[in-house]
Amino acid sequence: MLFFSYFKDLVGREVTVELKNDLAIRGTLHSVDQYLNIKLENTRVVDQDKYPHMLSVRNCFIRGSVVRYVQLPPEGVDIELLHDATRREARGG
Amino acid sequence: MSGASIEDVYLPPSLASYLDKKAVLQLRDDRKLIGVLRSFDQFANVVMEGAYERIIVGDHYCDLQLGLYVVRGENVVLTGELDLEREELPQHMTRVSEAEITRAQKAEREVVQRSIRKRLEFLDFDKLRVASSYTCSHAQSHPQFCSFSPIVL
């Protein structure tokens, strides 16, 4: 559940989601669930010319299973907090 | 005046907000379905009404009418709400007939296959035919690992 909680804290931030089919979408993180399904708002495709069918898509739902990377804003990463959370999770509490 | 408003409640991502709206469904086999989203569940299985497949090859496109479609969730990559205010496709793209797009699609596929074959020229295909059961889901990004059977046609 660590990454679920972590992504929940990032709601409202601008992220880039890169999918397994190499499609990369940038947008505001609207919500995330236990499967790491992601909903983005105000989306734009990084390589728009290659994916013309995404031109009029402003909001989208991405299935968690097809995500390869999520690029986060540097200020959204608190290493200390993540360390602590990881240790807590490893202890089972 | 009371504390939490409805906007403060955290809601998990759901397709509910796209219900009865025109949406584009990107599938894992690179197909794009467009239609009105009528139903969904927790696996991202979806029902699309009045669905059509949009085939895009270069600057040409074609819409193939399909009708009512149920898509199993595992094949779904992304569901996007179409903004009706915006252009669906760039201006320079032109609509062509089904026959034309099928031909263009075939030509495009042949180009890809030829480039894969070129990269594999140093291999002895006849000996490698035994390896034809070995497949890779990333055939596009790692053609060197992809199945040999479709290449040696």
B130–chain A nearest CA distance, Å? 29
SS3 A92: coil
B/e letters for B42-68, b = 16+ CB within 10 Å, e = fewer, are eebebbbeebbbbbbbeebbbeeeeee
Locate B111 and state its tokens.
């180009």
Structural domain that includes position A83: 2-91
In tens, the pLDDT along A28-80 reads 999 999 999 999 999 999 999 999 999 999 999 999 999 999 999 988 888 89
Q: What is the mean pLDDT of chain A?
A: 93
Regions of chain B short of the pLDDT cut 70: 1-4, 6-7, 125-153
Nearest CA in chain A to B79: A61
Residues 84-123 of B with CB under 8 A from A: 84, 86-90, 93
Residue B120 pLDDT: 86
Tell me which residue in B56, B76, B80 faces A63 most closely, judged by beta carbons: B76
Share of residues in chain B with pLDDT > 70 (%): 77
DSSP A12-63: TSEEEEEETTS-EEEEEEEEE-TT--EEEEEEEETTGGG-GGGTTEEEEEE-
Residue A57 belongs to domain with CATH number = 2.30.30.100
Residue B5 pLDDT: 72
In degrees to the nearest 10, what's the CA dihedral of B63, B103, B59, B75? 50
Nearest CA in chain A to B45: A63
- Does A81 score more than 70 pLDDT? yes
In this structure, how many other beta carbons lie within 10 angstroms of the beta carbon of residue A47?
10
The two beta strands, B94-95 and B60-71, are parallel
Provide CATH code, domain B16-95.
2.30.30.100
| Most B CBs within 10 Å, among A63, A65, A66, A68, to test the B interface | A63
Total structural domains within chain A? 1
Mean pLDDT along residues A8-26: 95
Residue B10 pLDDT: 84
First to last CA, chain B: 72
C-beta atoms of A61 and B73 within 8 A = no
Domain boundaries, chain B: 16-95
| A2-9 and A79-91 helices, crossing angle to 10° | 150
Does the CB of B79 have a partner CB in chain A at under 8 Å? yes
Q: Tell me the sheet residues that pair with A32.
A: A38
Mean pLDDT along residues A4-16: 93
Residue B152 pLDDT: 46
Residue A77 pLDDT: 84
Residue A10 pLDDT: 92
Nearest to A43 by CA among A69, A65, A19, A61: A61
Q: Tell me the sheet residues that pair with B78.
A: A62, B26
Complex ipTM: 0.87
Model confidence, pTM = 0.80
Q: For residue A12, with 0-12 CB atoms within 10 Å meaning exposed, 13-18 middle and 19 or more buried, which class applies?
A: exposed
